[in-house]
Amino acid sequence: MKWFKICLLSILLNLGSAEAQDTVRYIGKTLVNADYHHGQLSPVMGVHSIQTFRANRERPELAEGFGWTYNHAPMLAYWNNRYYIEYLSNKLGESIAPGQTLLQSSDDGYTWTKPVVVFPVYRIPDGTTKEGHPGVAKNLDAVMHQRMGFYVATNKIFLVLGFYGISFDAKDDPNDGNGIGRVVREVLADGKLGPIYFIHYNPKWSAANTSYPFYTTSKNKAFVAACNELLANRLMTQQWNEESDRKDPLITLQKQYKAFSYYHLPDGRVVGLWKNALTAISTDNGKTWPENASRAPGFVNSNAKIWGQKTADGKFATIYNPSEYRWPLAISTSQNGLDYTNLFLVNGEIPPMRYGGNYKSYGPQYVRGIVEGNGYPPDGKLWVTYSMNKEDIWISSIPLPVSAQAKSDVNDNFNQLTAGKELEQWNIYSPLWAPVKVANTTGNRVLSLRDQDPFDYAKAERLFPASAKAMVAFSITPKQADFGTMEIELQDEKGTAAVRLTFDSTGTLSTKAGARYKNFMTYKPGEKYEIQIKLNTWTRFYTLTVNGKEFTGLSFVPVATVSRLVFRTGSVRRFPTIDTPADQVYDLPNGGATTKEAAYEIGYVKTGGF
């Protein structure tokens, strides 16, 4: 009996060990504080976040030409030496017709083309009904809903896909299995687009009652072969789950888990990830899955997408919102694809939502990277795209290996650094109307922050080794003194600012002293200011020197160390909070207007101790 108990215990322990080894889990200690937009996470060093599209209802010619303000669910691919983003768009809000899908491209990930319509508005035949809904279509357009955007076939044909769903009202789901079907077209090497075809119909729909032909009628044999290859790929079609018929034979796992992403482990097994941090492992390349997915232990994720992939350095990463809110956007990494050990910041910004709308959530959300086989950027970085507030489209590049610590002090003279690589170790947040870039002025290269966006700001951060006795020095030239704002902060690893300098719109350079500001000096447009700050976090005293003039102050928040220098053309943002109502039903005034452009130029940055 004793022998039996020992054997039984051994079996149970082995089963428990096998089960523990066969699931994705987060075993790190870092958790998010959603009271802060950045979650108090340390940023990955060198992340560049670039706005690719800014919605504009008042000036649609500055956007995509339509002025639509619900823009969401972007997808990403890299093909033929270009980055491609596909995203869906509705006029006002989620699931409210009309809807269409747009396409952007870029040769470097920083400068993007104006969006073009890849799948246009589609009229639903009058009289159309949906099982379980009382609505009857009359002058009704479809809305787009797709969890998959691109496919690069082995014959090098590049496909872009979308799905036409039916939504009768603001609460109706276009991904309920009762939509029309999935459409496809080829993206050609010159950027032009091939004809639109249906690649897969939902029940009750066929070539006889739809507006585009079936793909098999194409005379382009390579295109047809690429579509056939896609249809045979069970991992790719698993992404179609939500929109397809609930008994669609193309879908292996037909349970309504949402927003599937996947990657292969070194042993060939496939990790699947869904919303709410659900996960499962397939041992046969997606042909079968366990009956039920389970929540990944330790992962915090709500009803927002989670992205996972193997990275170019041979490791693995998941990128997601690690909270019950759609902020911040964070990354966790793993050596083996199962055990995730850390949590760092990718994007912790939430600009104001300019246009209210149905189900428009705050924050950087619905992240997607480049799925296996859809391209490999030459810089080896991890690239992800996402929407901001379901309104604007962004992309971030994440250097590898992922690190949140600077290994050495800073000595960045922008005129002396290798051209094109000046910002490799900088973190930048660069909206279209508030760009951050290296620019040539009067024969010298400088870090330029410009801002004509009344709702957003430019931001550049430089990490340095954490220190209790830190010295930072830099030069900055404000190009104006009667408008614009530049805030400069020393922060700790959680984003807590201890020292803040402000070049304000009255021509005053001030320092934050508790609840008040102390005016230090006036400043002039076009004049260079050589600034040095020496901070002792133990005593909280710092010495500020500007062009030889000295001032002693007290840090307005106590911190143990500082490790970040931040330049920002606006004030820190607190809205929304975790108590803000989920739905914003109002618009902000003049959401499409610009302000007079302010500009600031940084010549060098140095850090060290004292």
pLDDT at 16 (0 to 100) = 41
- Within 8 A by CB and 6+ apart from 381, the residues are 312, 397, 398, 399, 400
Percent of the chain with pLDDT over 90: 96
pLDDT at 25 (0 to 100) = 98
CA distance 42 to 152: 35
Q: Do 479 and 456 have their domain in common?
A: yes
CATH code for the domain in which residue 525 is found: 2.60.120.200
- Amino acid 194 reads G
Note whether residue 15 is domain-resident.
Answer: no
Q: Do 421 and 319 have their domain in common?
A: no
Note whether residue 52 is domain-resident.
Answer: yes
Note whether residue 306 is domain-resident.
Answer: yes
CA distance 52 to 102: 12
Over range 228-252, report the average pLDDT: 97
Q: Do 201 and 331 have their domain in common?
A: yes
DSSP-derived 3-state class of residue 448:
strand
The more confidently predicted of residues 119 and 16 is: 119
Q: Do 386 and 429 have their domain in common?
A: no
Percent of the chain with pLDDT over 70: 97
Q: Do 393 and 415 have their domain in common?
A: no
**Taking Cα atoms as reference points, which of 415, 473, 417 lies closest to residue 446?**
415
Q: Do 508 and 433 have their domain in common?
A: yes
pLDDT beyond 70 at 123? yes
HSE-CB of 232 using CA atoms within 13 angstroms: 8
Report residue 7: phi and psi, to 5°: -65, -45
pLDDT at 5 (0 to 100) = 44
- pLDDT band, very low/low/confident/very high, at 21 (cuts 50, 70, 90): low
pLDDT beyond 70 at 141? yes
Query: Count of domains in the chain?
Result: 2
Q: Do 359 and 416 have their domain in common?
A: no
pLDDT at 442 (0 to 100) = 81
User: For residue 569, what are the domain limits?
Assistant: 411-583+592-608
pLDDT beyond 70 at 498? yes
Note whether residue 96 is domain-resident.
Answer: yes
pLDDT beyond 70 at 47? yes
Q: Give the distance between the most distant pair of CA atoms in the chain.
A: 89
> 507 near 522, Cβ under 8 Å?
yes
DSSP-derived 3-state class of residue 4:
helix
pLDDT beyond 60 at 1? no
- Amino acid 425 reads Q
CA distance 449 to 452: 10
Query: Per DSSP, what are the bridge partners of residue 147?
Result: none
Residue 359: CB atoms within 10 Å: 15
pLDDT tens for 344-388 read 999 999 999 999 999 999 999 999 999 999 999 999 999 999 999
pLDDT at 131 (0 to 100) = 87
DSSP letter assigned to residue 535? E
Over range 293-307, report the average pLDDT: 97
The more confidently predicted of residues 8 and 479 is: 479
pLDDT beyond 80 at 4? no
Note whether residue 14 is domain-resident.
Answer: no
Q: Which two tokens stand for residue 579?
A: 């108590």
Dump the DSSP string for 32-72: --TTSTTTTPPBPTT-EEEEEE---SS-GGGTTSS---EEE
pLDDT tens for 519-551 read 999 999 999 999 999 999 999 999 999 999 999
Q: Do 229 and 270 have their domain in common?
A: yes
CA distance 462 to 292: 45
**Taking Cα atoms as reference points, which of 106, 119, 201, 206 lies closest to residue 160?**
119
Note whether residue 403 is domain-resident.
Answer: no
- pLDDT band, very low/low/confident/very high, at 8 (cuts 50, 70, 90): very low
Q: Do 422 and 373 have their domain in common?
A: no
CA distance 88 to 162: 9
pLDDT beyond 90 at 441? no
Q: Do 216 and 326 have their domain in common?
A: yes
Q: Do 355 and 306 have their domain in common?
A: yes
Q: Do 421 and 378 have their domain in common?
A: no
DSSP-derived 3-state class of residue 451:
strand
pLDDT tens for 208-217 read 999 999 999 9
Computed over every residue of the chain, the mean pLDDT equals: 95
> 572 near 475, Cβ under 8 Å?
no
Q: Which two tokens stand for residue 522?
A: 């006036």
Over range 99-128, report the average pLDDT: 98
Note whether residue 303 is domain-resident.
Answer: yes
CA distance 224 to 230: 10
CATH code for the domain in which residue 169 is found: 2.120.10.10
DSSP-derived 3-state class of residue 515:
coil
CA distance 377 to 555: 43
Note whether residue 404 is domain-resident.
Answer: no
DSSP-derived 3-state class of residue 158:
strand
